[in-house]
Amino acid sequence: MFSLHALPVVLLLAASPLSALGAGPAVLARRVPAPASDITMELTVLNNSGFADSDVFLVLTCNGSCYVDLKTGTVVCPASWSFDPATMSASLAEVKAANAGAPHTVKIPPLATARLYFSYGEKFASSDFPVSGPSFGQGNQILSDSFEFASSGNPNANTTGVDFFGVSYSLTLTPIGETAPVTVGYAVPTETIYSAFNAIVSSPDAQQSGNTDIFKQLVVTRPGAPGQPAETIRVIAPKGAGYTDLNLDRAGQKETSHFFDAYVAQHCWKPNRTFSFHDKNVANVYYGRVDATGTTLSIYSNAAMTDLYGQIPRLSNSWAYPFPPASSWHFTGDATNYAMTDIDWGFAISGQAGPDPVALPALLTSKLIIDPVFMAIPVSIARGVMHLDNLGDWENSDNFYKGLSGTSTPDLPIFYYGKILHDYAIANRAYALSFDDVYGKNTSVFFSDPKVTLTLNPMKATNASSFNVLAPCRLLDTRDPVGPLGGPALAAGATRPFDVGGICGIPTDATAVSVNVTVVDATTSGNVVVYPGTGSAPSVGTVNFVAGKTRANNAILGLVGGLFSVLDRQAAGAVHLVVDVNGFFR
């Protein structure tokens, strides 16, 4: 099993209502900033969804079995939970009227755990809303989503997608220690993301492991208008399938469980393989070596591989075909019946492994889920980079979800749920699986400024208030003569702001732009971070590059007063930056 040195202290993010109530692990161990004081959060809701305020409904649950009356900001804790839509839910129009109209702010008292649910077109019914929150399976035919936060202890919020993706929205808030707000979530219309899931190319039915049809089966629909096709209303995360009524055909649960088997066996636990990687916080370097039989991975804290940190066995016999019988993979909710041989990588990575070491093996619960070194292993499997050997390979987002030249195969599968959400997220930050905080790719923001804005983005790409197409235009090029949108080149370690309001047809009140960011003529390797406003840069790079190579990435970039900034993360040297714009949001 494991041979471990004393582990570093890992602080825990406040549990979400779902995880606290046993509906599945949603938020996991992570390093957090110094505690902030409890705050009264001032929430502003901007409705660009295309639905009238009277057809957008809000429910705020908190602290286990309590809720917040959004008209008054009062926390109500009934003796027993019984959801009453008339008192526990309110339309956005009602909330606005109670809070002096739009733009409006709802003052929310300090809460240890909270989740704000919002639905379009109809309220949740009493039968749809148990204390753990509404189902996100096929039985729930209401278009909806939610975000989770805590406003006491260590105030934080995130646009969680570890259970499902429902609708496109974003959060704007100011991180602790910074002066400018950041925006996380999505800026594209909801149907753009739905279309990406529905466009996944099917693989042959015989391809059991790595079959892309797994992800198509996670799309939930409802009947369309008369004469119209069914409409998509959410996409369930692979982790979430075990907690819903979703009856996957073609043994979908089994395929999900064994999705990574061939990849792990053939590429990750390859006999005599050696590699190096960072822990989840990119604080220290660790070294891995697989034994000659390909059954045990040893992790060392020194390059000479003499200081053993711990070991991870390759799990049992689930790597070979045919797959084990259904009794060893089907999730029944009775986790106590599982033996070590019945749990495989797909099961762990998809989030089914709970926090109870009695219920599931300590291998999955105490180490891969909590330890900051071992957590890098499962997330790198999910992102399709664990087979890469060089330091930095696992945290370089350019390597994520590539499969075999962009194609999902049994031995190099693409985890499409994570790929699509990260591709369309602002700055490519999303919470697509339980381990997405490894290497800072998730959307969690710890904040002390009470002002938080929830923006509900358009459902339809054709909505007048959604994406506005621009003729492709060169926004800036540092190879040009010195100027506000020209030279000089970006210098190592320096941050440079750019004011693009009014440039290339971008209005001064635009909230985000769709851009292509290109780096050229780099003198050394590094990455650039492009981010909204002029505050401190986030940890996630926008484009990674090496010396002498041209690299590019598409991004939806938030603006603050028409401004965005660029940080050049090179140890030395310089790099040129080119940004082209093709549209904006307002």
488 cis-preceded (ω within 30 degrees of 0):
yes
Q: How far apart are CA 174 and CA 183, in angstroms?
A: 9
Q: 468-585 is classed in which CATH architecture? A: Sandwich (2.60)
Sign of CA dihedral 489, 495, 497, 498: positive
- Selection from 45, 73, 40 nearest residue 453 by Cα: 45
Residue ranges for the chain with pLDDT beneath 70? 1-37, 101-104, 204-210, 241-258, 315-370, 461-466, 539-540
Those residues whose C-beta lies under 8 Å from the C-beta of residue 8, and which sit 6 or more positions away, are 372
**Spatial contact of 154 and 14, defined as CB atoms under 8 Å apart:** yes
Instruction: Say how many C-beta atoms besides its own lie within 10 A of residue 176's C-beta.
Output: 17
Give the containing element (helix H, strand E) for 216: helix 213-216
Q: How far apart are CA 275 and CA 390, in angstroms?
A: 6
- Look at residue 92 in the predicted model and tell me its pLDDT: 92
CATH 2.60.120 domain span(s) along the chain: 468-585
- Look at residue 346 in the predicted model and tell me its pLDDT: 55
- Look at residue 369 in the predicted model and tell me its pLDDT: 58
- Look at residue 315 in the predicted model and tell me its pLDDT: 58
- Look at residue 251 in the predicted model and tell me its pLDDT: 46
CATH 2.60.110.10 domain span(s) along the chain: 17-191+431-456
One-letter amino acid at 210 equals G
Q: Please name the fold of domain 17-191+431-456.
A: Thaumatin (2.60.110)
Return the percent helix, strand and coil in the chain, to nearest 5.
Answer: 15, 30, 55
Give the containing element (helix H, strand E) for 96: helix 92-98
Which residue reads 């790409």 in tokens?
461
- Look at residue 33 in the predicted model and tell me its pLDDT: 45
Q: How far apart are CA 201 and CA 406, in angstroms?
A: 11
Instruction: Report pLDDT digits (tens) over 104-152.
Output: 578 888 999 999 999 999 999 888 788 888 888 888 899 999 999 999 8
Sign of CA dihedral 298, 302, 305, 308: negative
Instruction: Report pLDDT digits (tens) over 565-579.
Output: 999 999 899 999 999
Question: Residue 550 gets which letter from DSSP?
Answer: -
Give the containing element (helix H, strand E) for 572: none
**Spatial contact of 154 and 260, defined as CB atoms under 8 Å apart:** no
**Spatial contact of 428 and 555, defined as CB atoms under 8 Å apart:** yes
The torsion angles phi and psi of 270, rounded to 5 degrees, stand at -70, 130
Give the containing element (helix H, strand E) for 57: strand 56-62
Q: How far apart are CA 260 and CA 400, in angstroms?
A: 15
- Selection from 486, 494, 500 nearest residue 566 by Cα: 494
324 cis-preceded (ω within 30 degrees of 0):
no
